[in-house]
C-alpha cells in the first residue's frame, strides 16, 4: 500500500517557477513604481487579533460574516485571524508605533491575504495584494495621485484595457440620510430581495447595492443615489479629484453603485476593472477612509489607499505575452576528472564574483552526456574543463547558441582571462 499524498489546501495555490518568474517581474516593476511616488515599504504580520478586523472592516460585511479564517490560540485563548486584507493591520501598526507623530506617511506592503471564498478563476482562499496607503493628507490631491499611480502602473506593466470607475460615498451624516431613503425603497420592494439583502436591509443597506445577484440588478439600478444627498464639501472634494484626472487625461466612469465591500470608506472610492477576466474583473480597488485611524484608537488622521489583486494582474501580464528572463544562464560548467573538478569549483565561483551566472554540472557523467545537458540548458556558453586543460590553467569556452554568433568558435582561454572574455562576448552580442 502506498502512502497517501498530502495536497495543498483548497484555494491555496503553489506558484511554480514558470509562473513565479512573472511574479518576480511584477514585483520589480511595482517596487520601482512605488518608489517613484515616494512610498516606503512596511512589513506586517499575517495574523492579527480578530477584533481588529471586526472593528475595521465592519461586522455586517461579506468578509467578516463569512470569509475570515479565525481561530483561538490554543495556548492563551486569544482570538486570532489570518488577515483578509492589509489596511486594518497597517493602520494598527501606524497607531502602535506612532508613525504620524512627525509627518504624514506614504506606505506600501505586499503579501498573502486569506478569505474563505468559493475558489474559481481569479478568486482564491490565499491570494496576494499590493496595498498602498497614505496617512495625514486630507485633500483630493492625494486621492487623485493614487488614481494616477494606477494608470501609470498599467502602462509600466504594458497592460491595456483597464478602465477606471469612480464614486463618492460622502460623509457619515450624508450616508445616514441616504440610508433612510434606501431602506424605505427596499422595504417597498421587499418581495424582490434575496435572503442576503433582507438580512442587510436594516443593518447595512448600502451593502445591498454591492450585491452580485443578477436578479437584483434592476432594483439596484433604480435605488436612491447617495450622490444626490451630498453636501457642498463632499461635492467639492469629488470634483477636486475629477479635475486632476481630467487634467492628466485619465478617463473615468462615475458609477453611483460602486460602494466597496468594506465599511471604512468615505468620500472617494474607485476600482480599476478589466473585461478580460470574466466576473473577477476588478484588479485594483480603494478609496478614502478618514475615520479608520480614530476608530482603531489613534488620533484622528485622514487616510486614503488601495489594494491590487496580484493573481489577477500577473494573469493579465502573462496573457499580454510579457517576457521574463526565465531560467537562462550565462554559463553551463562541464568538468570531468579529479583535478578538473577541483578547478571547476574555483572557476565557477570566480565567474560569479564577476557577475556571470553559472550552472555548475552536478552528478558526474561523461563529457558527452554533460554536453547534452549543457545544450539543453539554454545557457549561452559551455565552459569545459578536463584534466588536460586543468594542468595548464586553461578552459575551453564554447558558444552554445552558435546561430546567434556564427563567428564565435570554441576556443581555449586562460582561467584568469575567462570572466573578461565572457563579458566581452556577451557585450558584443548585445551590441550586434
Q: Residue 52 or 339: which CB sits closer to ligand ATP?
A: 52
- Closest residue to ligand ATP using C-beta atoms: 309
Q: Residue 42 or 88: which CB sits closer to ligand ATP?
A: 88
The distance from CA 420 to its chain's CA centroid, rounded to whole angstroms, is 39
Interatomic CA distance for residues 375 and 400, integer angstroms: 6
Least gap, CB of 127 to ligand ATP (angstroms): 3
Q: Residue 125 or 229: which CB sits closer to ligand ATP?
A: 125
Binding site residues, ligand ATP, CB under 6 A? 85, 115, 117, 122-124, 127, 129, 261, 280, 282-283, 285, 307, 309, 311-312
Quote the strand ranges of 54-196, DSSP E.
69-72, 79-82, 105-114, 126-135, 162-168
Sheet strand arrangement including 79-82: 47-49, 79-82, 69-72
Least gap, CB of 199 to ligand ATP (angstroms): 18
Interatomic CA distance for residues 344 and 383, integer angstroms: 9
Least gap, CB of 62 to ligand ATP (angstroms): 7
Element (H, E) at 187: helix 172-188
Least gap, CB of 129 to ligand ATP (angstroms): 5
Least gap, CB of 122 to ligand ATP (angstroms): 6
Least gap, CB of 76 to ligand ATP (angstroms): 30
Q: Is 83 exposed, middle or buried (0-12, 13-18, 19+ CB in 10 A)?
A: buried
Q: Residue 29 or 280: which CB sits closer to ligand ATP?
A: 280
Interatomic CA distance for residues 377 and 226, integer angstroms: 60
Interatomic CA distance for residues 337 and 137, integer angstroms: 67
Least gap, CB of 121 to ligand ATP (angstroms): 10
Q: Residue 123 or 177: which CB sits closer to ligand ATP?
A: 123
Interatomic CA distance for residues 88 and 81, integer angstroms: 12
The distance from CA 104 to its chain's CA centroid, rounded to whole angstroms, is 24
Interatomic CA distance for residues 19 and 310, integer angstroms: 12
**Contact indicator for 46, 55 with CB cutoff of 8 Å:** no
Give phi and psi for 307, each to the nearest 5.
-130, 140
Q: Residue 85 or 290: which CB sits closer to ligand ATP?
A: 85
Least gap, CB of 85 to ligand ATP (angstroms): 5
Q: Residue 19 or 117: which CB sits closer to ligand ATP?
A: 117
Q: Residue 81 or 341: which CB sits closer to ligand ATP?
A: 81
Distances (CA, A) of 154 to 29, 44, 83, 157, 403: 10, 26, 27, 5, 36
Amino acid at each position: 500500500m502506498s502512502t497517501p499524498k498530502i495536497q495543498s489546501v483548497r484555494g491555496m495555490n503553489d506558484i511554480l517557477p514558470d509562473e513565479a518568474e512573472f511574479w518576480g517581474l511584477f514585483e520589480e516593476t511595482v517596487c520601482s513604481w512605488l518608489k517613484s511616488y515616494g512610498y516606503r515599504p512596511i512589513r506586517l504580520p499575517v495574523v492579527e487579533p480578530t477584533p481588529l478586523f471586526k472593528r475595521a472592516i465592519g461586522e455586517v460585511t461579506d468578509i467578516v460574516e463569512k470569509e475570515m479564517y479565525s481561530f483561538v490560540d490554543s495556548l492563551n485563548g486569544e482570538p486570532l485571524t489570518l488577515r483578509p486584507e492589509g489596511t486594518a493591520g497597517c493602520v494598527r501598526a501606524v497607531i502602535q508605533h506612532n508613525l504620524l507623530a512627525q509627518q504624514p506617511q506614504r506606505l506600501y506592503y505586499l503579501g498573502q491575504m486569506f478569505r474563505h471564498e468559493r475558489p474559481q478563476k481569479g478568486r482564491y482562499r490565499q491570494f496576494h495584494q499590493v496595498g498602498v496607503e497614505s496617512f495625514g493628507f486630507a485633500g483630493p490631491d492625494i486621492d487623485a495621485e493614487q488614481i494616477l499611480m494606477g494608470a501609470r502602473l498599467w502602462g509600466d506593466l504594458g497592460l491595456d484595457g483597464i478602465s477606471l470607475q469612480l464614486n463618492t460615498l460622502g460623509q457619515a451624516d450624508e450616508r445616514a440620510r441616504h440610508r433612510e431613503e434606501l431602506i424605505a425603497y427596499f422595504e417597498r420592494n421587499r418581495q424582490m430581495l434575496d435572503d442576503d439583502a433582507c438580512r442587510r436591509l436594516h443593518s447595512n443597506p448600502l451593502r445591498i447595492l454591492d450585491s452580485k445577484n443578477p436578479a437584483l440588478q434592476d432594483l439596484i439600478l433604480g435605488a436612491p443615489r447617495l450622490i444626490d444627498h451630498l453636501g457642498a464639501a463632499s461635492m467639492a472634494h469629488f470634483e477636486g479629484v475629477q479635475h486632476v484626472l481630467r487634467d492628466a487625461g485619465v478617463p473615468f466612469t462615475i458609477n453611483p453603485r460602486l460602494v466597496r465591500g468594506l465599511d471604512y470608506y468615505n468620500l472617494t472610492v474607485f476600482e480599476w476593472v478589466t473585461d478580460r477576466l470574466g466576473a473577477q474583473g476588478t484588479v485594483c480597488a480603494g478609496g478614502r477612509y478618514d475615520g479608520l485611524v480614530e476608530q482603531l484608537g489613534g488620533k484622528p488622521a485622514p487616510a486614503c489607499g488601495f489594494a491590487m489583486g496580484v493573481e489577477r494582474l500577473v494573469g493579465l501580464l502573462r496573457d499580454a505575452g510579457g517576457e521574463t528572463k526565465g531560467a537562462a544562464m550565462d554559463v553551463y560548467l562541464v568538468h570531468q576528472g579529479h583535478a578538473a573538478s577541483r578547478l571547476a569549483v574555483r572557476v565557477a565561483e570566480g565567474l560569479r564574483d564577476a557577475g556571470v551566472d553559472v550552472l555548475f554540472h552536478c552528478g558526474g557523467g561523461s563529457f558527452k552526456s554533460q554536453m547534452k545537458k549543457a545544450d539543453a540548458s539554454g545557457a549561452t556558453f559551455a565552459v569545459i574543463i578536463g584534466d588536460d586543460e586543468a594542468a595548464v590553467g586553461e578552459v575551453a569556452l564554447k558558444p552554445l547558441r552558435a546561430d546567434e554568433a556564427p563567428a564565435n568558435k570554441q576556443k581555449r582561454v586562460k582561467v584568469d582571462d575567462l570572466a573578461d572574455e565572457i563579458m566581452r562576448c556577451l557585450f558584443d552580442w548585445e551590441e550586434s
